[in-house]
Amino acid sequence: MTTTSSAPGKVYLFGEHAVVYGEPAVPCAIERRAHVTVSEREDSRLRVCSGDLSIDGFTVEYSGDRDAGGTPDVDVPAPIVDAAMGYVDAAVEQARAAADAPAAGFDVTIDSEIPLGAGLGSSAAVVVAGIDAATRELGVELDAREVADRAYQVEHTVQDGEASRADTFCSAMGGVVRVSGDDCTTLDAPALPFVIGYDGTSHDTGELVAGVRALREEFGFVADTVTAIGDLVRRGEAALADGDVATLGRLMDINHGLLSGLGVSGRTLDAMVWAARDGGADGAKLTGAGGGGSIVALDAGSGAETALSLTPDCEAAFRADLAREGVRVE
Ligand code: PMV
């Protein structure tokens, strides 16, 4: 048998980084999906192929012990293969546990429309779709909340404890969600006109989260910035409930400034944020951990996307509709 599941990537409307300290965050699922196809094997080995994780294709086959059996082919840097395999490995472990099949082996193929490490939730989408596909392949159907919970356990382990539930819950549930600590809910939201700019680079989320933590420990007032982001998110929830896109945009601009204060913006992100604003966006901010990667803007017209596509620091500019559906079997 073969099973394919898909799950969406996400942008943060508000609240990344502050969510690590228990403040609320509001991520939104976007119509860019990771597809994971799983076939159970006769033996207990795991073989993973990926064509387009925005890195060169890689194939890895191993018997469960990555250190002993992993043989990455071609020219992909070992740390990237290691990171990607860490997520897949842990996702398969969760599926084996959920289906009570500790020795199950799989061929896994990943096709993702979401660039890696770019603040668009690629790893969460792969993990969510992978757990869903592998459990179904073993004859077990988990509800989306359980997939989200198991996917969070994966991210928590692979990212050395530096992960919130935001990415995984959003990818599993779809739509607009609110995450505060362990408290995860879905929100009603209007159709939001997202425009995304991507600078072609990737970031290390764990490193950026650790940087904010160090800054917060060194300067007491940085904790106030984190609290201010929480206040902003609560105000944003009201604007969301009212369908007030103009206010959402203004709050995104402020959120970007506060993230800059936490030291997680960068030259390319700032250039893209300003290009989107100059192009007429209601607001723009970096999305995800920052450093490099992506920005998100709100613009119902075409100005922000055009301005981004003309910006040298922007490798790709695209619209992304809100994905109302989270994880699903294909
Ligand atoms: O860039 P991403 O998609 O890994 O997003 C990270 C979001 C953080 O708030 C910085 C960390 C987290 O786990 O919530």
pLDDT at residue 147 above 80?
A: yes
* Residues 162-188, mean pLDDT to the nearest whole number: 93
Whole-number Å distance, alpha carbon 20 to ligand 1 midpoint, is 8
Q: What is the pLDDT of residue 81?
A: 64
pLDDT at residue 66 above 60?
A: no
Choosing from 14, 128, 160, 167 the residue with most ligand 1 atoms within 8 A of its CB, the one to mutate for a pocket test is 167
> Ligand 1 pocket, 205 CB below 6 A?
yes
The DSSP secondary structure of 296-317, one letter per residue, reads: EEE-SSSHHHHHHHT-TT-SEE
CA dihedral 223, 176, 114, 142 (to 10 degrees): 110
What residues are labeled active site?
167
* Residues 6-33, mean pLDDT to the nearest whole number: 96
> Ligand 1 pocket, 119 CB below 6 A?
yes
Question: 238 CB contacts (<8 Å, ≥6 apart)?
Answer: none
What's phi and psi for 329, nearest 5 deg? -85, 140
**CA atoms 166, 94, 123, 243: torsion sign:** negative
> Ligand 1 pocket, 164 CB below 6 A?
yes
The pLDDT-based confidence of 27 (bands split at 50, 70, 90) is very high
pLDDT at residue 326 above 90?
A: yes
Whole-number Å distance, alpha carbon 138 to ligand 1 midpoint, is 31
The pLDDT-based confidence of 52 (bands split at 50, 70, 90) is low
Q: Identify the residue whose C-alpha is closest to ligand 1 atom 3.
A: 119
Exposure letters 280-303 (e unless 16+ CB within 10 A, then b)? ebbbbbbbbbbbbbbbbbbbeeeb
Q: Which ligand 1 atom minimizes the distance to the CA of 17?
A: 9
> Ligand 1 pocket, 155 CB below 6 A?
no
The least confident of 47-61, 184-198, 232-246, 285-299 is 47-61
For the purposes of burial, counting CB atoms within 10 Å of the CB of 86, is it exposed (0-12), middle (13-18) or buried (19 or more)? Answer: middle
Least Cα distance to 269 among 209, 202, 324 occurs for 202
Amino acid making up residue 209: V
Q: Among the ranges 47-51, 111-115, 168-172, which has the highest mean pLDDT value?
A: 168-172
Q: What is the pLDDT of residue 80?
A: 61
Amino acid making up residue 162: E
Distance (Å, whole) CA 243 – CA 191? 9
Distance (Å, whole) CA 29 – CA 215? 30
* Residues 198-206, mean pLDDT to the nearest whole number: 86
pLDDT at residue 57 above 60?
A: no
pLDDT at residue 72 above 50?
A: no
pLDDT at residue 210 above 70?
A: yes
Whole-number Å distance, alpha carbon 45 to ligand 1 midpoint, is 31
> What six digits make up the tokens of 285?
């901010």
Give Cα 66 distance to the centre of its chain.
Answer: 24
Q: What is the pLDDT of residue 160?
A: 75
Amino acid making up residue 254: I
The pLDDT-based confidence of 85 (bands split at 50, 70, 90) is confident
Cβ–Cβ < 8 Å for 27, 288: no
The count of other CB atoms within 10 Å of the CB of residue 112 is: 25
Whole-number Å distance, alpha carbon 288 to ligand 1 midpoint, is 5
